[in-house]
Amino acid sequence: MNMRCSVCGKKGIAKSINLVLEENFKNKEVRTLYMGLRKEKQGHKQEPMFLKGENGELITDEDKIIKRWKEYFEKLLNREMESEYLQDGEDEEEPQPRNENIIEPPSLEEIREIVNNLKNNKSTGGDEITAEIQPGVSEEINSRITAGNRCIGALNAVLKNKGISRKLKMRIYKTVIRPIVIFGSEVWTLRKEEVQRIEIWERKVLRKIFGGNIQDGRWERRTNREIYDLFKEPNIIGIVRAQRIRWIGHVVRMKDHRIPKMVLIHEIGGGKRLGRPRQRWKKAVEDDIRKLNIGNWKEKAKDRKEWKKIVDQAMGQLGS
């Protein structure tokens, strides 16, 4: 009975929180709305209600708990440290001779063997990180999707609540959940497999928001076309490609001595590797700009307002 009352109480609290979120959204109280969403993401955190005193007694009063913590840290931080130095008159130990030649430097043959065992025969750089250890775009995308899924899990009660309007749920997706996934996407190259993975993730979230389709009393899963017809917004890939175009325009407007500008305008030297060349970021963005039929894009990028229109155009046209 008590467990049932506890469950009912939790449901009542969740319902009241969701009603407050919906009310804040309708009244355009944006700050209060996002503060409520942040608390919902963090979940319930039980406050400490008691503390053990210095003599083992139980303290339950809030003011006494604060006072006890203050006394504890004052005693901890102001404790006299024991001297690490020898007192006058004490015998000092004679320093032991150090053998500087215990570890011999590696031989040339050993260095060659280590480098040959590395992927692509590349040695480490100044940061001592090998090429195969550095995370690629695929690992970055997986990391962002995982972070987005954690956010969805924290807001699951809000997204599945039928008492909250779809309009508010879409606002939450576009301003809270999606930015987590596309953070840093300006520098993504995007292979075909990665595009599919990101789109599948977005459709999963949209299906959670829009729910299923009821036909003749039966629940049916919405098709991809139905999902995007209800969404009526640029899909996540269009947003990512538009952000890349926005960033390359920003780099073009930089001074020539800035590092991003130098990386953009200089070509990578050296011979070509065997096999199909990897997709490069600059070429991927230029291909997107070409699809928009934008001529002499570097000159147009210097006009901030004109480039903003091109970025907005890219959101709608470059979604896969």
Structure tokens at 80: 């006299």
- pLDDT in single tens digits along all 320 residues of the chain: 444 444 454 555 555 666 677 777 776 677 877 777 777 776 655 665 677 887 878 888 888 888 888 888 888 877 655 444 445 545 555 555 555 555 567 777 877 777 776 655 444 544 444 444 434 447 889 899 999 999 998 888 888 888 888 888 999 999 999 999 999 999 898 888 899 999 999 999 999 888 888 777 788 888 888 888 888 888 999 999 999 999 999 999 999 889 888 888 876 665 666 666 667 888 899 999 999 998 889 999 999 999 999 999 999 888 76
- Let me know: does 227 contact 300? Beta carbons within 8 Å: no
> Which phi and psi angles does 101 have, rounded to 5°?
-110, 20
**pLDDT at residue 12, rounded to an integer:** 53
Which has the closest alpha carbon to 314: 247, 224, 228, 226? 247
β-bridge pairing 58-59 and 51-52: antiparallel
The CA distance from 278 to 131, in Å, is 15
**pLDDT at residue 305, rounded to an integer:** 92
Whether the predicted model's global pTM rises above the 0.75 cut: no
- Let me know: does 144 contact 180? Beta carbons within 8 Å: yes
SS3 304: helix
Which has the closest alpha carbon to 157: 208, 207, 201? 208
**pLDDT at residue 111, rounded to an integer:** 75
